[in-house]
Amino acid sequence: MAIALTPFQALCGFRPHEEIQNFFQEFPELRKVVGENNASAFILNPSEENLKNCFSFLMRSSKNVISSALKDMEEKLSSLGYQSDPFYLRDLFLNLKTHYPGDVGCFSIYLLNYIVLEPGEAIFLGPNVIHAYLHGDCIECMACSDNVVRAGLTPKYQDVDTLLAMLEYRMIAAESRKFKGSKINQFTTLFNPPVPDFAVQKIESLYSNQINNTAVKLFLCLI
């Protein structure tokens, strides 16, 4: 779970299939990096297996293919007006390409949900849900784990094969990943994701108040 402290941008889970199909039809540059046959198969039958084939082809594409496609995509997007960008991905793509030149992850924004959170909003990420934090500050809380697997938009070690094998390929809307905390009392907001492992309470006070909490917890103080 990630709770936004500032305006926050993230990629989280795969988009609804209708959105991915539209992007495949609109951008030949995208079809090139996921494989023309794979893209055509997904347009006809947007199954999780066909999505996996598209994403696997993308992640295993050579650096030369990706670099060439990134250049072509940049030229196309630079020529488009904002009216042709209903998902506000034009500037995001160009910004990612600047910060991560030659990175295959730049194309992932057309397959993954792009989510913008305001301070106090949260997203919940179940096991094996692909995600990337792009901009802003957050508090992240997760169950004990040693299986962080990276594959793009990072200078760190990338293990593509393991990632592709473990991912959940369910396609759902961005809004279904978001949730807000519930107010318990005048001081406390509870962020309670649908898992038994953890929850987060936000305790806020503008004045000198004494708030008792007897449970064993980790406290993080933000001033």
Domain with 91 in it: what CATH number?
1.10.441.10
Q: 3-class DSSP state for residue 22? A: helix
Name the catalytic one among 15, 31, 90, 150. Answer: 150
Residue whose tokens read 């990612």: 96
Tokens representing 20?
């991915």
- Which range marks the domain in which residue 60 is found? 2-180
Q: Structurally, how many domains does the chain consist of?
A: 1
- Closest C-alpha among 41, 3, 43, 18 to residue 137: 3
Q: Give pLDDT, residue 50.
A: 98
- Per-residue model confidence (pLDDT) at position 28: 93
Among 156, 112, 148, which Cα is nearest to 17's? 112
- pLDDT (tens, 9 = 90+) of the chain, 223 residues, equals 899 999 999 999 999 999 999 999 999 999 999 999 999 999 999 999 999 999 999 999 998 999 999 999 999 888 876 555 555 788 899 999 999 888 899 999 999 999 999 998 999 888 889 988 999 999 888 877 655 666 556 666 667 888 888 889 999 998 888 888 888 888 888 888 888 788 888 887 776 666 666 665 666 666 5
Residue 202 domain-assigned (yes or no)? no
Q: Are strands 138-140 and 2-4 parallel, antiparallel or unpaired?
A: antiparallel
**Does 215 map to a domain?**
no
Query: Can you give the pLDDT at residue 156?
Result: 62
Integer Cα distance of 90 and 210 in angstroms: 49
- β-partners of residue 112 are 14
Tell me whether residue 211 is in a domain: no
In the prediction, which pLDDT does 97 show? 92
Rg of the chain taking only CA atoms, in angstroms: 20
In this prediction, residue 64 carries a pLDDT of 92
Please name the helix (run of DSSP H) or strand (run of DSSP E) that holds residue 77, with its range, or none.
Answer: helix 63-79
CB 198 within 8 A of CB 188: no
Look at residue 10 and tell me if it is in a domain: yes
What integer pLDDT is reported at residue 20 of this predicted model?
A: 97
Six-digit token string for 93: 């793509």
At residue 163, the pLDDT reads 83
Residue 78, domain member (yes or no): yes
Is 150 labeled as catalytic in the residue annotation? yes
